[in-house]
């Protein structure tokens, strides 16, 4: 993989998300927290620089594309509050597959989607 492509993808992700110190293994949803309308903005920034093919990627597998909170949010919040001391963290696992920036760069270089 060309380091220039990866560096540019990381730069775009940092700009779009405000996150810092991203690397090839940083995942769009789980690590960078790009979801909802931010996914569209991220894809748009990638498409502007690398071509319209990014719109054909299965983004819905890797991040929530809907805006707003889940109807189950009150229950999830309650569960988080009750189990936090036992789990040691205040978060719940993402139901989405990991899409790492290294894979994003590799797909861009190949010119077509392939499975991570």
Span 55-96, pLDDT tens digits: 999 999 999 887 655 666 676 667 667 776 776 665 666 789
Which pTM does this prediction carry? 0.79
Q: Is the pLDDT score of 40 beyond 90?
A: yes
| Continuous segment of H or E residues that includes residue 21 | none
DSSP class of 74: H
| Tokens representing residue 39 in the block | 């996914």
| Tokens representing residue 96 in the block | 């989405």
- Domains of the chain are 3-110 (1.10.1200)
Degrees, nearest 5: CA angle 43-94-4? 35
């Amino acid at each position: 993989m060309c380091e220039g492509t990866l560096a540019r993808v990381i730069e775009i992700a940092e700009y779009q998300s405000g996150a810092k110190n991203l690397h090839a293994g940083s995942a769009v949803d789980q690590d960078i927290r790009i979801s909802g309308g931010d996914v569209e903005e991220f894809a748009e920034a990638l498409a502007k620089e690398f071509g319209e093919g990014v719109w054909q990627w299965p983004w819905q597998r890797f991040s929530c594309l809907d805006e707003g909170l889940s109807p189950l949010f009150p229950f999830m919040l309650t569960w988080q509050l009750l189990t936090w001391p036992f789990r040691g963290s205040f978060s719940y696992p993402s139901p989405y597959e990991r899409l790492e920036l290294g894979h994003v760069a590799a797909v861009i270089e190949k010119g077509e989607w392939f499975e991570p």
